[in-house]
Amino acid sequence: MNNKILVLMAGTALAVAACAKHENANTSGAETGNTDLNMTTDNGAMGNSGATATRTAPAPTTAQGFVNAAAASDKFEIESSKLAATAASSAAVKRFATQMITAHTASTAKLKSTVAGMSPPLTPDDALSPDQQQKLDSLKGLNGAAFDSAYKTAQTEAHQKTLDTLRTYSASGDNAALKAFASKMIPTVTAHLNIAMGLK
């Protein structure tokens, strides 16, 4: 009789332990799943800065804010495109990157000449945003086809963000000279965006 009770108690204890373990595994899995989901959501928001995050974030409408955004955009385009010389495997990507270095160097020069003629002149701050810096850093660790794909995505998103900024500032900016600059840049950035989207 005592043996039957011991066996029954042992079986109950094992069942409880198994349930607890299963419950912990489910809780742990749910937490991991939530973490992964949150990471995916966060990364998705950052990764789609041109499509999602950028369109919901307000574009700068003050002169200094616009100048800083334009300068940082040019710097990101130039620095990320320099990486393509050694990291890219696609000839099309390398050609596009060379074009971006030339075009955004010229854009920076135009921006500087525009603000230099203002009274008082503005000083562009080309410090990259945390998002831009993160994307640049991630590109530095890639080569070949992986770089080509990530570079295409980064360029598409960056040009979309810049295009949104130019459109917003040209429509509601607070400086006539910079509004004219923004308007003139829209066709060029639109062309760059279209090329970036078609990269293979």
- Rounded to whole angstroms, the Cα distance separating 18 from 22 reads 6
At 57, the pLDDT band (50, 70, 90 cuts) reads: low
What is the overall mean pLDDT for the chain?
78
- Rounded to whole angstroms, the Cα distance separating 78 from 85 reads 12
pLDDT of 78 > 60? The answer is yes
Total length of the chain: 200
Mean pLDDT of 72-83: 97
pTM confidence score: 0.70
Q: Identify whether the C-beta of residue 66 lies closer than 8 Å to the C-beta of residue 165.
A: yes
pLDDT of residue 58: 65
Residues 6+ away with beta carbon under 8 Å from 49: 131, 157, 158, 161
